[in-house]
Structure 1
Amino acid sequence: MSGLSERERAGCIKILQLMSKGDLLSLSDTVTNKLIVVENVTEATETILSFTKNAEELLKRKKVYRDLIFKYLAKEGVAMPPSSEKHQLVRKTLELWSSRKAGVDESLLGDTDETRQRSSTKIASDSTNMKVEVGFDPQALGQQFCQWFFQLLNSQNPSLGQQPQDWGPQHFWPDVKLRLVSRAGSEQMEEFLGAELVNLRLLALTRDEHLLLSPNLDPLGLKVLASPHGLVLVAVAGTIHRDGACLGIFEQIFGLIRSPLENNSWKIKFVNMKIRGQDALGGTEVAAPALSYNSTELQLLCS
């Protein structure tokens, strides 16, 4: 009988879904010593999970390739160096599943648009209650927002092979502003105004350019400030990938304001984004980039 917890089982299913049909059927033969014949992917998945003693055993199987685990962690918003060895990725995955943070990740992603909308609203409602009863925690909101935002945006990348989630202009205020500065050799700056244009430009990063944005949610990579006027500033740094290669780093600042007409859900008021390619970094690879903004610069954006 399987010794997987509910959270481990859900994570294992996501990883198995990334495997080819041939590898999945082969893995099913391995775990059952070919005593059980399966006819399709669904049967193979259930059989593998049923005959798996624990999560670590499954992750260490030869057919569960290093790249699959790396891709899974990236989807979950966990930044790992592209050069990470399989045993490091396995350890990080087990830590993710055993931590409380993993429960937050799952609560942000439902199976349907309605579930996701309800989960997003729940976070906003909980934050409202905390502000009244036990003190508002901006850092917790920033962590939850980044996990939700980057999972949502990365799901639009067709190379990941997952069902795109409900990305769209509904997550932005109508007058939202985007300022995008990219430096790969020469510096380019783009500005966009309005929910539809901002939504489409950010969407193009993952859907059209096939980029994967992996945020660093450690203290050096994430800062959150709250103004007395209701604006919450979330600044985050991370790495940019395409097909397993690290292309550079990004820094992104979000301005969030609650919408009283939409169950007090948080919506994005502005986005400032800086992208630096490997050339601009001098060819050095940064596994977990730190924010270059200091507290004074961020305070100015809050005023």
Structure 2
Amino acid sequence: MSGLLETERAGCTKLLQSMSKDDVFSLCDTVTNKLIVVENVTEAIGTIITFTKNAEELLKRKKVHRDLIFKYLAKEGVAMPPNSEKNKLVRRTLELWSSGKAWFDEKLSGETNETKQRLTSDTEIVKAEVDFDPQVLGQQFCQWFFELLNSQNPSLGQPPQDWGPKHFWPDAKLRLLSRAGSEQMEEFMGAELVSLRLLALTKDELLLLCPNLEPHGLRTLASPHGLVLVSVAGTIHRDRACLGVFEQIFGLIHSPLENNSWKIKFVNLKIRGQDALGGTETAAPALTYNSTELQLLCS
């Protein structure tokens, strides 16, 4: 029997689903010592999970390549330096699974629409009426947003998730400031244009945005008028190259008529390329915005 926790089972399953068919069958033979014959990938993955003693053992298998784990973490919104050794990626993956967040997202994705709506609504009602914690909301929002946006990058080789203007208020605004050689400012108005410009970052420019969800990389602030500001820093990658860092501020407003969800009112995105960083460390960038600057955006 498998010694995996439910969180680890969900994470390992998702990771194995991103492997090639041949690698999955080969790994199944290794884990079972070729004593069990499987007929398809789904059966092979289930067998691997059943006969795996612990998650670390599975992650350290030769067929579970370093790049596979790196891409998995990127999809989950976990920032890691592109030159990280496999052992570090394994350790970070185990930390992610032990937090329980990956399992909750996976459980929601596997529920029926009716159940998913009820779970999401119940969660939002608890936040709004009982114990609303802006920092928790910020962490959950960033994990959701960057996984969704990064899934549009074709280099990850996964089906894109449901991106679109529906996640934004109709009068949403985007301000994009990029410093890579020269400084360039772009501004967009309306849910459609804002959605398309952000989509182009990953789908057309093939970028991966990896947020730093540690305390020094994430800060939130709630105004008495219902606006919640989520500010986050992170690194930008293309394939295995780190291109620079970003800081992003989201303005979120609760939408009680749409399953108690939070929709994006505005986005301020500041990108700095490597040449604008002066050789500083980019593995886990920290925010430069302070609480006073965020307070001004609430006014």
TM-score range, shorter chain: over 0.9
Bigger shift: residues 145-154 or 170-179: 145-154
- Alignment CA distance shift 1:108-1:36 (3 Å): closer
Q: Which residue of 277, 289, 293 corresponds with 1:297?
A: 293
Bigger shift: residues 12-21 or 231-240: 12-21
The residue number in structure 2 matching 1:3 is 3
Question: Are residues 1:71 and 2:67 paired?
Answer: no
Deviation at 1:248, TM superposition (A): 1.0
Are 1:108 and 1:148, in contact at CA under 8 Å, matched by a contact in 2?
no
Question: Are residues 1:205 and 2:205 paired?
Answer: no
* Mapped partners of 2:38, 2:51: distance in 1: 13
Are 2:83 and 2:240, in contact at CA under 8 Å, matched by a contact in 1?
no
Deviation at 1:69, TM superposition (A): 1.0
- Alignment CA distance shift 1:163-1:172 (3 Å): same
Deviation at 1:101, TM superposition (A): 3.7
SS at match of 1:182: strand
* Mapped partners of 1:172, 1:122: distance in 2: 21
- CA offsets, 1:50-79, max 9 Å, x none? 221111111111111111111111111111
Deviation at 1:108, TM superposition (A): 6.0
Unaligned ranges ≥5, structure 2 = none
SS at match of 1:139: helix
Q: Which residue of 167, 172, 176 corresponds with 1:176?
A: 172
Bigger shift: residues 272-281 or 115-124: 115-124
- Counting only pairs closer than 5 Å after superposition, residues 64-143 of structure 1 correspond to structure 2 as 64-106=64-106, 109-110=109-110, 120-130=120-130, 134=131, 136-143=132-139
Bigger shift: residues 94-103 or 181-190: 94-103
- CA offsets, 1:235-292, max 9 Å, x none? 0000111112211111100011112332432111100001111121124441110011
Deviation at 1:41, TM superposition (A): 2.0
Q: Percent identity?
A: 80
The residue number in structure 2 matching 1:166 is 162
Question: Are residues 1:249 and 2:245 paired?
Answer: yes
- Counting only pairs closer than 5 Å after superposition, residues 43-82 of structure 1 correspond to structure 2 as 43-82=43-82
TM-score by length of 2: 0.93
Unaligned ranges ≥5, structure 1 = none
- CA offsets, 1:199-243, max 9 Å, x none? 111111111222111110111111101111111111000011111
TM-score by length of 1: 0.92
* Mapped partners of 1:217, 1:113: distance in 2: 29
Q: Which amino acid aligns with 1:54?
A: N
Are 2:167 and 2:263, in contact at CA under 8 Å, matched by a contact in 1?
yes
Q: Which residue of 205, 217, 222 corresponds with 1:226?
A: 222
- CA offsets, 1:136-161, max 9 Å, x none? 31111111111111111111112212
The residue number in structure 2 matching 1:42 is 42
Q: Which amino acid aligns with 2:2?
A: S
Are 2:7 and 2:100, in contact at CA under 8 Å, matched by a contact in 1?
no
Count of paired positions? 299
The residue number in structure 2 matching 1:147 is 143
The CA RMSD over aligned residues, in Å, is 2.0
Bigger shift: residues 118-127 or 285-294: 118-127
- Alignment CA distance shift 1:153-1:42 (3 Å): same
